[in-house]
Amino acid sequence: MPLQFNPVKLFAGTASQSLAHKIADAYGKELGSVTLSRFSDGEFQPSFDESVRGSDVFLIQSTCQPTDNLMELLMMIDAARRASAHYVTAVIPYYGLARQDRKDKPRVAIGSKLVANLLVAAGINRIMTMDLHAAQIQGFFDIPVDHLDASVIFVPYIKSLKLGNLTIASPDMGGSYRARTFAKFFNAEVVICDKRRKRANEIESMTVIGDVTDQDIVLIDDICDTAGTLAKAAALIMERGARSVRAVCTHAVLSGKAYETIENSALSELIVTDTIALKQESPKIKVLSTAELFAKAITNVNEHGSISDLFRVD
């Protein structure tokens, strides 16, 4: 019996309008229309302006600054289910609260697991995301998770720079696996910045493990929040004799004084994706789009194709 392909409908939440339009263009389909009604007290209600009955619905929404954006996504999922959508996929380019993936001290919540529970309870059939802070978050779901890898976007760009003495660096011990995986694409050495925190977003000390002398260093991370870690790592690496230092981060959270910190840092550039819309432009920030990758993933999901084909790096 031939495979049945249901009609695809793409919708965007408030946080991901720009990226969603790019995804829709790459997919070759216009975004569906959603109205977000607001009450005077801030309460909101999303509603679809067209039928989704029997459709494969893809809801595109990053949950950055997560409270309202997550709630909006949950309500869109609920609305789609109640409107008889055949299959609902939450496309979450940036999965907020992913840093809360375990109990690292007594009496704290595991926020990323709670978000997973909420998404499933709302009625999603599938989740599509990119570069989770911890890959094991996929195990919080008992539904299919398409975990896309931004290295297929970053690696060609880094190759285009033709850096003579490339060395990959991790800004902390926790990111060493990510850095080593990235280094394999270039057959490059890896150095690690070992940091000690006083508390969240505040670094007490940092040391560099490995030789960076006369090297072109590329720091690899998944999230750039205040940019304090990257700035401190870049300064230390340059002090140790590196030729240049730049950073690759998938999710540009960039809170607080992050833009100012980047501008004043030793970084020659910060390379990010558009999973989170930038609040302002910066001559030091290079944005690479994820739209084509997400569009291909949506096509493959709808046509029952392979997602693993999207992990090949040219």
Q: State the catalytic residues.
A: 195
Of 178, 145, 303, whose CA–CA distance to 248 is shortest? 178
Given a contact cutoff of 8 angstroms between Cβ atoms, the answer to whether 77 and 124 are in contact is yes
Residue type, 249: C
Given a contact cutoff of 8 angstroms between Cβ atoms, the answer to whether 222 and 175 are in contact is yes
CA angle at 255 for the pair 208 and 45, rounded to the nearest 5°? 140
Distance CA 28, CA 30 (A): 7
Q: Note the residue count of the chain.
A: 314
Of 240, 242, 201, whose CA–CA distance to 218 is shortest? 242
Looking only at the bridges linking them, the beta strands covering 202-209 and 216-224 are unpaired
Distance CA 206, CA 79 (A): 48
Looking only at the bridges linking them, the beta strands covering 189-199 and 202-209 are antiparallel
Give 199's contacts (C-beta < 8 A, 6+ positions apart): none
CA angle at 52 for the pair 119 and 139, rounded to the nearest 5°? 20
Helix H or strand E segment including 79: helix 66-82
